[in-house]
Structure 1
Amino acid sequence: MSIETNAPVSTGPIETRTIDMVPERERHGSPSSQFTLWFGANMQITAVVDGALAVVFGAEATTAILGLLIGNILGGIVMALHSAQGPRLGLPQMISSRVQFGVKGAALPLLLVILMYLGFAATGTVLSGQAINLMFGFSTPAAGIIIFGALTALVAVVGYKLIHVVGRISTVVGILGFGYLAWQLCHQYDVASAFGQKPFTWTSFLTAMALSAGWQMTFAPYVADYSRYLPSKTSTAATFWTTFGGSVISAQLAMTFGTLVAALGGNFIKNQVGFLGELAGPLAVVIYLVIVTGKLTVNCLNAYGGVMTMLTTVSAFNDKKQFSPATRLVYILGFVLLTVLVALLASSNFLATFKNFVLLLLTVFVPWSAVNLVDYYLISKEKVDIPALYNSQGRYGAYNGVALFSYVLGIVVQIPFINQAMYEGPLAKAMGGADISWIVSLIVTSLVYYPLAKKTMKVPDQMIYPADQAGTSNSSGKAAYLNTASA
């Protein structure tokens, strides 16, 4: 079987590609675009909140900053390894999950990914709506939320190129805006007093690690969506390091700032947007714009990635290999409308809800990442039968029991180690509340999946591209254009 991916090449500003492979003739850009996109996506207020949570839930400032750094590095490695798949495959991230889970079996993690996008998009819309209302003096809370939803829809509809432009703008704006806020913090508060307020505890240290690792790993299900247009000759190392650097550096800076403002007290915990405005003083309106710009970048990633994931899920059951621009438009508008509705109904207890949300996502995405990365780098070794990803009767089948078993096991083994508001496992209690569930899952899932998949996976001898992808090269520079059956 082969796939025809001859969708019309976009001649206007609006993207036409959806879940189909990006042909070489449409590839463009350089790895540096990954640095600015992920720097801009992390230098924003929700990352500040994530850092503040480490202090809110028990960590001393030094403990929090160190724990956040280690978590960002570990989670960033996982996230960047997913990004490096983009130029090689030319596919949205979650389509590649069909290699491991089967064409229809991949729907299980896909449905959870959609919930993630909705949750993050809704929380981002709440904070941005507050900033817009303060900028323009709107008295109706819904006004800012609706305006931000409209901006998100506009950028997501235009698609890949505009999202990267917004990322570059957000990088510059974020550096200047948060640099100014850090300067103001140092002049208005005794920053040194933030340190040494509490003794070191392993529980608070591991909680900080989990918060930042979870933050990074939640990008994993869509990170390759934004590297898939890079030329296939782009090196894996270049894609990895630019993604890793942009995401980890900016996230750590934002989270460290959040740690300090939380440790110094003030009104940040109760009113995140308002506190930053007060801290900015005469430049409050400018800082509100900084908040909106940063959140716009990441919310567009959520909307764009959410739609890709929904289309991937639907296509597994209706045999579609690509979707029209009109269909893409309808899905984007529907997704953004839903996030706006969720934002309007959002709980006022934002910090506690967000912390539990991040840790819950960590529970379900760590085993998915383990399965995907172990297969791609150690079993398939970057050799994928791309036409078979769209054929439930082909090489990868409809369901892969080994991957589904390993994934579910990776969730179940975490239960004794989980420490969340709704449940605390017995082993977490025995360790004084320390939550190491994600570390246990990463190890167990990898160790179980590898030997089972090694025996059962039908790995092609080389990368198999769709029949019309002449001009696409593998990493050794040799063409691999096979119009073959995917059996």
Structure 2
Amino acid sequence: MTTTTPRGTTATEVRRRGVETTGIEIIDEKERTARPHDLFWPWFAANVSVFGISYGAYVLGFGISFAQAAVVAVVGVVLSFALCGIIAIAGKRGSAPTMILSRAAFGVQGQKVPGVMSWLVSIGWETFLAIMAVLATSTIFGRLGWGGGTPTKVVATVVVAAIIVLASVAGYHIIMRLQSVLTWLTGAATIVYIALTLGHVRWDAVRGLPSGSWQSVVGALVMVMTGFGLGWINIAADWSRYQRRDASSGAIVAWNTVGGALAPTLLVLYGLLLAGSDPTLAQGITADPIGTLATILPTWFLVIFLVSAVLALVSGAVLGIYSSGLTLLSLGVRILRPAAALVDGIILTAGTIWVVFFAQSFLGPFQSFLITLGVPLAAWAGVMIADIALRRRDYDEDALFDAHGRYGSVDWISLALMAVASVVGWGLVVNTFAADAAWNNWQGYLLQPLGLGTRTAEGWDGAWPYSNIGVLLALLIGLVGGIVLRRGRVRRQEAGDAR
């Protein structure tokens, strides 16, 4: 049967124009032509951004030495993207989006619980990237004397939103080609940025940074992991679903990890050198990362820097909006994939306009809300990774769409694990935007009873509160609990029994 778009155009004709019409359904065997090394391009392009340099200031903000921070950067970035690589294995096994494949672990209907959370996280983070791109344009135009006020922001908002929406509506094949081009452009501009600013590094100041407690090291590690790989983990299989059946799982993990981690690792390390050399620069990065990083550049490079910074932020937003559209479809919304991407793109645009032009204090509460969602996201990731590790066969494709199939309607063990992990995790993290988001200060309720910290009028005292160990514990509870409690169920599923 020939499918049609709302305007009567056949899906085949739409595909000829370069638009991907495949939604949450299983990818046809003949279309599974991608190889593991193809995963390098989207992951590298989405993460080769000068914005990664700003994380150097954030890491040193935990009061640790350069050596400690360097270990945190390497381990945190690589480990977090390796976890994404493991999730990507599911894409090859099932040739469906991440949130459809997650039905094997949570049940066809039960998956809607983490699905809603995933959709909110994706929409939120990509809106944040779009906001950063618009504000960066305004800041740099202001320094160039071209005016950084409302007209500049209006044009920047229109251009940024248009690129993100059009690319995400076009779909997988257009995005893969776009990302391969952006990789070279943003990569080259980033190399030039490092060359131009290398003279600002003061090795004596960097070496003189005092060491911090190991709890502070853990806190910095959690921040790096959530800021990089864990921020992408709920969409990791979306880009591996076009992989060939005979693709090596090890190669998928490796290329996913290298593509995602290579640039951020180097950028954060360089950011540590810059922030450790200049406390004023480090302080400015906290409030305006892109604009502050531009202050140490010669004027002639500012336009190139702006273009590369904006393109890198847009690149990440494109991946997120494309995947959030797939997640929306997995929740039962009955529209075509391009339309789903367009809906999410409109939400992103509206959110960007509100923050840039109307909101008086929004970024703090907004980030607080997104960070709060990071705990159940980590719990979901633990359960999903455990499920992938336990399985020895490809997914039953029909059962992923049938609540009466072998995966069932609701997997109560997985949902219970996610709930327990979230309760424990929220109890061991604190709201880092307490002044802007006082409504979120309920977190950290286990710290004082366990003797790990003391709440004061100014915040928290003690070594543990700002370690945010709750994120790692949520991940581990989901992972270990999934392996121990769901082993028998997975075996029965693979034997064809839905019980």
TM-score normalised by the chain length of structure 1: 0.85
Matched, 1:205 2:222: no
SS at match of 1:67: helix
Q: Distance in 2 between matches of 1:349 and 1:193?
A: 35
2:260 maps to 1:247: yes
Tell me the equivalent position of 2:108: 103
Match for residue 438 of structure 1?
Answer: 471
Pick closer, same or farther for the CA change 1:47–1:131 going to 2, 3 Å.
Answer: same
Superposition deviation, residue 122 in structure 1: 1.9
Residue of 8, 16, 25 corresponding to 1:20 = 25
Which residue matches 2:309? 291
1:262 paired to 2:243: no
The residue aligned with 2:329 is: 311
In structure 2, the CA distance between the partners of 1:448 and 1:272, relative to structure 1 (3 Å rule), is closer
Q: Distance in 2 between matches of 1:416 and 1:191?
A: 40
Q: What is the Cα deviation at residue 138 of structure 1?
A: 4.6
Aligned partner (choices 208, 229, 247) of residue 196 of structure 1: 208
After superposition, the Cα gap between the structure-2 partners of 1:25 and 1:335, relative to the gap in structure 1 and judged at 3 Å, is: farther
Count matched residues. 455
Q: 434-443 vs 299-308, which deviates more? A: 434-443
Equivalent in the alignment of 2:336 = 324
Contact 2:93 2:245 in 1 (8 A): yes
Distance in 2, matches of 1:201 and 1:210, equals: 15
Query: 1:139: which partner in 2?
Result: 149
Is 1:396 aligned to residue 407 of structure 2?
A: yes
Report the AA paired with residue 147 of structure 1: V
**Deviation (angstroms), 1:225:** 0.8
Aligned residue number for residue 457 of structure 2: none
Q: Alpha-carbon deviation of 1:368?
A: 0.6
Residues 314 and 258 of structure 1, relative CA distance in 2, 3 Å threshold: farther
* Change in CA separation of 1:163 and 1:400 when aligned onto 2, cut-off 3 Å: same
Cα distance change, pair 31–342 in 1 and its aligned pair in 2 (3 A):
farther
Are 1:221 and 2:234 counterparts?
yes
- Of 30-39 and 365-374, deviating more is 30-39
1:420-435 equivalences under 5 Å are 420-421=431-432, 422=441, 423-424=443-444, 425-426=447-448, 427=450, 428-429=452-453, 431-433=463-465, 434-435=467-468
Q: Deviations over 1:315-335 (max 9, x none)?
A: 5xxxx6xx4356335424433
**8 Å contact from structure 1 (residues 29, 230) kept in 2:** yes
What is the DSSP-based 3-state SS (H/G/I as helix, E as strand, rest coil) of the residue aligned with 1:81?
helix
Residue of structure 2 equivalent to 1:473:
none
Once the two structures are TM-superposed, the CA of residue 450 in structure 1 deviates from its matched residue by: 2.4
**1:363–1:326: structure 2 CA closer, same or farther, 3 Å change rule?**
closer
Counterpart of 2:486 in 1: which secondary structure? helix
The alpha-carbon distance between structure 1 residues 325 and 101, as it changes in their structure 2 partners (threshold 3 A), is: closer
**Can you list the C-alpha shifts for 1:404-457, whole angstroms capped at 9, x where unaligned?**
001111112224432433333234426543332233223322232223222334
Counterpart mapping for 1:12-411 below 5 A: 12-133=17-138, 134-135=140-141, 137-140=147-150, 141-214=153-226, 215-263=228-276, 264-265=278-279, 266=281, 267-281=284-298, 282-315=300-333, 323-324=335-336, 327-328=339-340, 330-344=342-356, 356=368, 359-378=371-390, 380-411=391-422
* Distance in 2 (alpha carbons) for counterparts of 1:486 and 1:445: 22
- What is the alpha-carbon distance in structure 2 between the residues aligned to residue 82 and residue 249 of structure 1? 19
How far does the alpha carbon of each residue in 1:56-111 deviate from its partner, in whole angstroms, 9 at most, with x for none?
34333332221122212221221110112222211111111111111111111111
Once residues 338 and 349 of structure 1 are traced to their aligned partners in structure 2, the CA distance between those partners, rounded to angstroms, is 14
Q: Take 1:20 and 1:4, find their aligned partners in 2: how far apart are those partners?
A: 15
The letter for the 1-side match of 2:493 is V
Query: Counterpart amino acid of 1:413?
Result: V
1:465 aligned residue: none
Q: CA RMSD in A?
A: 2.8
Is the 1:303–1:335 Cα contact (8 Å) retained in structure 2? no
Q: Give the C-alpha shift of residue 250 in structure 1.
A: 1.4
Map of 1:466 onto structure 2: none
Task: Report sequence identity in percent.
Answer: 20
Distance 2:294 2:414 in 1: 48
Measured after TM superposition, the shift of residue 52 of structure 1 is 2.5
Deviation sequence 1:447-469 (CA, Å, 0-9, x none): 3222322233442348xxxxxxx
Matched residues in 2 for 1:64 and 1:330: separation?
40
Which stretch has the larger CA shift, 202-211 or 260-269? 260-269
Deviation at 1:186, TM superposition (A): 1.8
Evaluate the alpha carbon distance shift between residue 328 and residue 354 of structure 1 in structure 2; reply closer, same or farther with a 3 A threshold: closer
Task: Tell me the distance in 2 between the aligned counterparts of 1:195 and 1:361.
Answer: 36
Would the alpha carbon gap of residues 21 and 51 (structure 1) be closer, same or farther in structure 2, given more than 3 Å must change? farther
Quick check: 258-267 or 381-390, which moved more? 258-267
Report what 1:477 is aligned to. Answer: none
Residue aligned with 1:269, SS: helix
- Structure 2, unmatched stretches of 5+, are 5-9, 433-440, 454-461
CA-CA distance at 1:366 after TM superposition: 1.5
C-alpha deviation, 1:339, in angstroms: 3.7
The answer to whether the 8 Å contact 2:129/2:313 transfers is yes
What do residues 32-63 of structure 1 show as CA deviations (whole Å, max 9, x unaligned)?
Answer: 22112111111114433334211234333332
| In 1: Cα distance, 2:62 partner to 2:370 partner | 14
Q: 1:137 to 1:27 in 2, by over 3 A?
A: farther
Change (3 A) 1:48 1:116: farther
Is the CA contact 1:131–1:144 (under 8 Å) kept in the aligned structure 2? no
**Between 402-411 and 327-336, the greater mean CA deviation after superposition:** 327-336
Given candidates 449, 452, 464, the residue that maps to 2:482 is 449
Deviation at 1:296, TM superposition (A): 1.4
Q: What is the alpha-carbon distance in structure 2 between the residues aligned to residue 105 and residue 341 of structure 1?
A: 34
Measured against aligned partners, the alpha-carbon deviations of 1:100-148 in whole angstroms (never above 9, x if no partner) come to: 1111111111111112112211221122112333356452134322321
Q: Which moved more, 1:221-230 or 1:436-445?
A: 436-445
Q: 1:479 is matched with which residue?
A: none
Name the stretch that deviates more: 231-240 or 443-452: 443-452
2-structure distance, mates of 1:256, 1:353? 29
Which has the higher mean CA deviation after the structures are superposed, 92-101 or 327-336? 327-336
Code of the residue aligned with 1:398 in structure 2: it is: S
Q: Report the Cα distance in structure 2 between the residues aligned to 1:253 and 1:151, rounded to whole angstroms.
A: 28
* Residues 59 and 359 of structure 1, relative CA distance in 2, 3 Å threshold: farther
Q: Distance in 2 between matches of 1:346 and 1:232?
A: 48
Q: CA deviation at 1:364?
A: 1.5
Q: Which residue of 1 aligns with 2:458?
A: none
